[in-house]
Amino acid sequence: MSEYGPEARTRGGVLRGALRDGVASFLGVPYARGPVGALRFRAPEPVGPWEGVREATAFGPTAPKRPYAPPLDALLPDPEVAGDDCLNLNVWAPWRGSAPDAPEGGRPVMVWIHGGSLVHGSSSVPVYDGTAFARDGVVLVSVNYRLGIEGFGVLPDAPANLGLRDQIAALAWVRENVAAFGGDPERVTVFGESAGAISIAALLASPLARGLFRRAVLQSGAPMALPLDRARRTTEAVAARLGVAATAEALARVDGERLLAAQTEVTGKGSPLTGGHSFQIAVDGEVLPRDPAEALAAGASDGVDVLMGTTTEEYRLWFVPGGTVDRVGSVGQRLVLWKTGVPSRTARVYRAGRTGEKPGEVLGALATDKLLRIPLNRLADARLRSGAPGGTYLYEFAWRSPVLGLGACHALELGFVFDTLDRPETRALTGPDAPQGLATAMHAAWVAFAATGDPGWRAWDPARPVMTFGPGTPSLVEAPREAERLAWDS
């Protein structure tokens, strides 16, 4: 370490970070060139080397985006950092003196891919601070990638899935450089939540990502992608709103703020349950040769250890703050279920088992399971049937937040996984009295999984074991809500 701070020598040059309590942080590190000018709507290109020492003590620019709309903006912090070089990442690592504090062979590495419906989020969200992971022996990397039309637009004159290509480029950077921070490039775990988990499911199925990670954690996101022609519709709608051709050449000439405004207008009413325009990962034949759910069911993730799960009441983040849970009546519930193809026999099982719940709450439970719990259970079952190497573990997060009646909602587990309950930004969702013991247990499970492939409970088997975090002490539950799960297969 120099007198100014810890230094690490990467392939691009020397970085200087900051050191606090035995944890070094290197922020805003470029893993690809800024996607501007001739590089806009193009695959990520490597960063050229720099001379001297590059300061890495502040978060780098975030991808172009707009804040969450009210009332979610008060619950989900989404800082914006201005600048063009948004293809950057951050590293937190155990550090001693002038060098990484690492055993021979290096420490386990975890790479975080943030969520945000592929239009929000960044690696600089305070909830995602990597200090606790580094404190507990992990080299933690968090990644920015292109969002919205610049990351997931489908255009005839540009590569598809640019945001996924960015993630793959970041993982390649990690493989080449993480040893400089004390990490083991052969022990990389990629983890993410919501759109980040959906991205990881695609990476598990992508031949371009093969060999870049050994383990994966999917938090509240399931394998999901659209055929190119369907994924293209949102891009075409944005271009039509702007009055330009749906091509990279035409969109690259549009002012960035005007492009964001049109994107927000087109996608503002989209919903994963009821449809509408939204940006999705596309089956493009290169990054993603086939639908990821089909590919993973057929064994594409064999050999990779996988930990995955949901919160108990994912839907409450989507349905409660805006009052949807109270507005939906029995007729509205049936109409939505019909439009979304939920079998009436399935809905009857949920209604029979939830007689004390409002129609909107029953609809929300169905939405949670249709979009998340059932696809992840099916993936776990497919991995079990294959008998291939690679452990499979399931969890559920059940502690209920008192804030606005959100309960065990989508994204609530994040502060527990990162052990950042003391952050004001975390408390916006959890309230001030979230149980630290639960965060300690959940965070430790993620660390153990990254280090060994075993989070500390029984692997998936025919009895369907699910480690349930909260509301009290974590406990292993076999086949939770089995009647409801079976109702999707009858």
> For 162, which DSSP code?
H
Q: 401 an active-site residue?
A: no
Of the residues 314, 413, 425, 484, only one is catalytic, namely 314
- Quick check: 178 and 288 in contact, CB under 8 A? no
Query: What tokens appear for 153 in the block?
Result: 């637009």
Amino acid occupying residue 297: A
Q: Distance between CA atoms of 387 and 101, rounded to whole angstroms?
A: 38
- Quick check: 310 and 198 in contact, CB under 8 A? no
* Short-list 439, 421, 414, CA closest to 112: 414
* Short-list 389, 190, 377, CA closest to 299: 389
* Short-list 72, 192, 66, CA closest to 119: 66
Of the residues 194, 220, 301, 401, only one is catalytic, namely 194
Q: What angle do CA 193, 334, 325 make, to 5 degrees?
A: 50
Q: 55 an active-site residue?
A: no
Q: 122 an active-site residue?
A: no
Query: What tokens appear for 403 in the block?
Result: 């804030």
Of the residues 114, 120, 410, 443, only one is catalytic, namely 410
Query: What tokens appear for 286 in the block?
Result: 């290169």
Query: What tokens appear for 408 in the block?
Result: 């065990």
Q: Following DSSP, what letter does each residue of 63-91 receive, concatenated?
A: PS--PPPTTGGGTS------SS---EEEE
Give yes or no for a cis peptide into 71 (omega within 30° of 0): yes
Q: How many CB atoms lie within 10 A of CB 341?
A: 7
Residues carrying an active site annotation: 194, 314, 410
